[in-house]
Amino acid sequence: MRLTLRPFVLSLSALLVSGSPALAGEASSEAGATIVQPIMIMAWEEMVFGTIAPSTLSADTVTLDAVGGRVCGTALTCVSGTYRPAKFSVTGASDALYTISLPTSITLSNAGGATLQVRDLTTPQLTRQLVDGYDEFMVGAVLDVGVNQATGSYIGSYVVSVDYS
């Protein structure tokens, strides 16, 4: 009797250990990507603070707001003429949100090496939308003018960047 039981016990153990194919599972999924056109920015108009006469007694500022207004500090004389905020256009994916990055300051220099500082660059909204793939925005800033600031035309460059949000 012992000889006939052992093969039966071994067969039953082998069946329990091997498991049943009905307990195995599978799942399938998909992978995908959407490619949009690169976001692009173009400068249309440069920032112009206009013609300014400095004070011989104190430093002051000229502020260009991002919608086109100019405020000249009381110690300065802002001469009539052209002034304007910078203007940029952005193209990209239709109706996508994007973020604007502005520099913290700009250094302007004249031919003689004298400098002016532009600071507090601003635009009404740093996150905007590309309506039908297009948008425009303007950038204003504050110009610091020193006492007896050296005469001449001052120029400097800066980078404004945009990226999808």
Domain membership of residue 79 (yes or no) is yes
List the chain residues with pLDDT less than 50: 1, 3, 5, 8, 10, 12, 15
CA atoms within 13 A on the CB side of 117: 8
Question: What total of structural domains would you count in the chain?
Answer: 1
What is the per-residue pLDDT for 43? 98
Domain membership of residue 12 (yes or no) is no
Domain membership of residue 26 (yes or no) is no
Domain membership of residue 83 (yes or no) is yes
Domain membership of residue 84 (yes or no) is yes
Q: What is the domain range of residue 133? A: 38-152
What is the per-residue pLDDT for 81? 86
Q: What is the pTM of this model?
A: 0.80
Domain membership of residue 163 (yes or no) is no
What is the per-residue pLDDT for 1? 47
Q: What sign for the dihedral angle of Cα 58, 78, 136, 124?
A: positive
Max Cα-Cα span within the chain:
122
Amino acid found at 69:
G
Domain membership of residue 94 (yes or no) is yes
Domain membership of residue 24 (yes or no) is no
Query: What does the alpha-carbon distance between residue 110 and residue 154 come to, in Å, rounded to a whole number?
Result: 4
